[in-house]
Each structure stands twice: as C-alpha cells, then as structure tokens.
Structure 1
Amino acid sequence: MEQSCGKEFKTLAALINHLESESWHYAPNWECDACGAGFHRRKQCKDHEINCCFYCEDCEQQFSSWHAISQHLNSSRHRGPSHSSVSDYQKGVSCPFCKAPYQAASGVVHHLERGCCPNAPLDRDTLDQEVRRRDPDGFICNKLLEWHGTVSYHATSLAYNSRYGQYECYFCGDLFRQLSSLNQHLASPRHQQELYHCPNRKCLKEFTTLAGMVNHLESESCRFLRFGAVQNGIRGCSE
C-alpha cells in the first residue's frame, strides 16, 4: 500500500509508476539543509536529515555517523520537550515475518538475504527467485540466459602470492593476510552475477543483490525516487 494516498499495488513497478505519475508525491515543499533533497512533508525532511545526512537542524550541526548523532540527540541538550529524539525512521521498516525493526528498507532486505529471519525460510537465492517471478518484465531484474543461484568459491593455499606475502583474489586482485579472510570475501555476493539494475533508464547501474539496489535508490544518488517512497514501496511489497 502507498501510504500517502492509501492505494494498493500488486507490484513494485506499479507503485513506482504511480509515484512518478502523481506529481504531488514529489512536491519539494521542504529541503534538507545538509544535501538539498526535497520533501513533501516537514517530518519526512527532518527524518531524512537525521537518518541519512546525520544532521541536527536545531543545532545546525552535521555528524560523521548514525551513532554520533544518536548520542547527540539523546544528550541532555535534546531531552527537553521542544527537541525531538531519534525520529520514527529509526524504526524504519520492520521485517514482515519476525517484525525486527530496521532503519531503512535495505536493512530488511539484507536481513532476509542473509537468511537471518527465524520466521521465514528465505536466503538470497530464494528471495532472488521470488523477485524474478514477480518481475517478468525486467523492471529491476536483469534478463539472463541462465541463472543457477549463488556460485560457491573456495580458495586454497595456492592463492598465496609470494611477491606480496598475502593471499590474492583471482577475480579482482584484492589481497588478504589470512586465507580465511579471502574465503570470507569469496563467500560475499561481490563476485556473483549482477541480477538487478536501477529502474532509472538514465542510470541502469547493476547490482549483485536486491539490498544493494534498494540502498542505491535510498541514497537518491540518481534522483529516481525519494527515500520515503522507497520505504513505502518495500512496505507495500511486504504486506
């Protein structure tokens, strides 16, 4: 469900098309003081400033991390009734299966991809398969001749590069002091197939994971969707 107007959509593509066609969804009535991003509501703007830019509007101060601004907002300086504590975006989006809270939609997707949800028999492969089933037109999924799921790679002592005194990744050339560190790198999605792409036709950046694609949209780097619209889209897909 798109929470601004209450309409329901069966697919993420339909929701995004609705958000693009209804111009009032994007009216930049409020602007982030840190990055200039526009928002329809003041609360959305302030939530973005705190959770994305780590910016305190009241103090006109920007922080280096979420932890730093959280400490600042929870300090005695901000405990009075005129100041807000950490915003509702800290709750962000909850896992639809176990209700674990995440600051952003990409956190929920990453949680499911890693197989961390105790109430859902999902991992990256099963989630990818379900997304591909729901996206036959390739709105965010790359059209592949073949897809067999995650490919497992395992390095041995033969990966040791005596010139550098470290273990070298065959695919990208990155160096690791420990063989176990190299195998952790190989177990990550970094060298898997690029299954997703940005739906913005002017961008079309590709990603190996759904969480990576969602995080790209959340960053607003290609200005295709607002942060809040991405959150609403993932909430709608999980209902």
Structure 2
Amino acid sequence: MGYCCRACPQVFATSGLRDGHESDTGHYRFRFPCLMCDQVFETREESAHHMDSLMHYEHKCDQCGEHFEEKAHLTMHQNSPVHRPLVHKCAFCPSVFGTPSAVVHHLESNCCEVAVWQDIDHLFKVMKSIDKENLFTIAATEPDHKVSLNYTIHGDYFHCPHCTSRFKKEVGVIAHLKSPVHRKRLYHCLNSTERCGKTFLTLASLWNHLESGSCGYLLFDAVEELHAIIKDAATHHRPLYFEDLAL
C-alpha cells in the first residue's frame, strides 16, 4: 500500500513524498480523472467535457446514452418504462405499468379508482396472510394506526410534530404526514442467504430494491416471475412457502 500521485502512476511511501512530487511536477493541480481512461484534468468542467464528447462513462445506457453515477441507478433506468414495455396490469382497473414496483405503488398510494379500499395497510394484511414463513414480511408486525394529520405552525413554516421537517406550504406537510415515513417497517429483502438485511416501509420499495439489483439477488426477469407468483397467491388467497418461489 502507498500513496498514489493523483495525475500519474507513481506511488510513494508517505503522503508527504506524494505531495512533494505533485508540487514539483505540477501534478497537484490535476484532480478530476476520466471514469474510463487514464486522463486527468484540472477542472471538473474539463473532465465532464472529455467524458461527454467520448461517452466515457462507466455506467452508461447502451440504448439511449444516458449515464449514471451508480450501477444500481443504471439498472433501474434500464428496467424503467423508458426501455421496458408496459405489461404489468393492475388487477382492478385498466392501468398498465412497466415494472412490478410501479403497479404495487399504484395500489399502495390509493391511486386505483376502482379498488378504492387498497392502501399500504390493506395490501400488507393480504401479504401477511399468504406469507406463512415470513419470506418478505417482518414477523410479528402489524400496521401502525393512521398517523395523525395534526401539525404545528411556527412563523412561515408548517412543522411535522414527529421530526424536524418543515414546509413552506400546508399541502407539503400533509403529504409528508400521509406518507409512510413515520410508520414501522413492514417488509424485508428476500435475500436471506447473503444477509442483505434491508427493511422497507412499503411493498413497492421492496420491489424497487429487487428491480435495481442493488443486492445482486435476482435478475429483473426473475423479479417479474416472482411478482407473478406472489400476485397469483394473493389473488387466490393461497398460502405461500419458500418452495413456491422457485428461487
């Protein structure tokens, strides 16, 4: 291990030797490397211009050229309706979506004009009733009571009584209080073998996690298959066990 010059391949035993080398050669000025080649630039703007002109991005969509800082964000983009057909239908209304997470969010956010009873609590009760081995629902968990929509006003801001969030408009604080942000987590990642350990407030956020591939558990096509299996079990009120998931 050593201290690498930030503009050339040389490595030094101490940071002082590295800093001296950079000062003597002028290499200290070059702080902004290309993400895909060995070139380093004096300014962020020069580095960005170089990468834009040559499309030197590590996480770049081959279909449209859009680039992302993280691989998970690229994966989410590639699996979004931008590049995926709208094949996931709402079980109650004519709405069609590009991903499992989108159709679940449609129901959890109470946006379905037909299934007006569907929301986070109702969907969790359905999932809990079929998930007999707590494959993705958290054991011994029940939905919270509805969070009160009462808020306080101090000066020009509307304040959430449960956290430090404040909003310029009343609609902002009400949307915040209606969201699941102050409720208990209901789901966990199915990736128990690698011990992902992530928990989620909503079923949609769990599906979004799986679709992004951030824990490397399933490819997107497998996520779609898993969604179909769980949807079928919920529709027919059939208990769901690990062997049913075919993972």
Say if 2:143 and 2:186, in contact at 8 Å, map to a contact too: no
1:96 to 88, 91, 98: 91
In structure 2, do the counterparts of structure 1 residues 218 and 118 end up closer, same or farther at CA, with 3 Å as the change threshold? same
Q: Which range is displaced more, 114-123 or 227-236? A: 114-123
Larger relative contact order (CA 8 Å, sep ≥ 6): 1
Say if 1:93 and 1:108, in contact at 8 Å, map to a contact too: yes
Aligned to 2:66: 62
Say if 2:186 and 2:201, in contact at 8 Å, map to a contact too: yes
2:135 to 128, 135, 139: 139
Distance 1:225 1:138 in 2: 18
Residues 1-239 of structure 1: pairs in structure 2 closer than 5 A: 55-57=61-63, 61-62=65-66, 87=83, 89-120=84-115, 121-144=117-140, 147-156=142-151, 159-162=152-155, 165-201=156-192, 202-239=195-232
Amino acid at match of 1:100: S
Distance 2:173 2:145 in 1: 17
Say if 1:135 and 1:141, in contact at 8 Å, map to a contact too: yes
Amino acid at match of 2:102: G
Deviation at 1:107, TM superposition (A): 0.5
Deviation at 1:98, TM superposition (A): 2.4
Deviation at 1:174, TM superposition (A): 1.4
- Sequence identity, in percent? 30
Structure 2 spans left out of the alignment, 5+ residues? 1-58, 233-247
The alignment's TM-score, normalised by the length of structure 2, stands at 0.57
Deviation at 1:90, TM superposition (A): 2.6
Q: RMSD over aligned Cα, in angstroms?
A: 2.8
What SS class does the counterpart of residue 160 from structure 1 fall into?
strand
Amino acid at match of 1:191: H
What SS class does the counterpart of residue 129 from structure 1 fall into?
helix
Distance 1:150 1:209 in 2: 15
Deviation at 1:168, TM superposition (A): 2.4
Deviation at 1:118, TM superposition (A): 3.7
Distance 2:185 2:174 in 1: 20
Deviation at 1:150, TM superposition (A): 4.5
Give the greater-gyration-radius structure (CA). 2
Say if 1:125 and 1:150, in contact at 8 Å, map to a contact too: no
Per-residue CA distance 1:56-81 (angstroms, 9 max, x = gap): 44x7x226799xx9xxxxxxxxxxxx
What SS class does the counterpart of residue 149 from structure 2 fall into?
coil
In structure 2, do the counterparts of structure 1 residues 190 and 62 end up closer, same or farther at CA, with 3 Å as the change threshold? same
What SS class does the counterpart of residue 237 from structure 1 fall into?
helix
Distance 2:143 2:98 in 1: 32
Length, aligned pairs only: 162
Say if 1:198 and 1:204, in contact at 8 Å, map to a contact too: yes
**Where has structure 1 moved over 4 Å in runs of 4 or more?**
63-66
Distance 1:189 1:54 in 2: 33
Distance 2:106 2:88 in 1: 12
Deviation at 1:148, TM superposition (A): 4.6
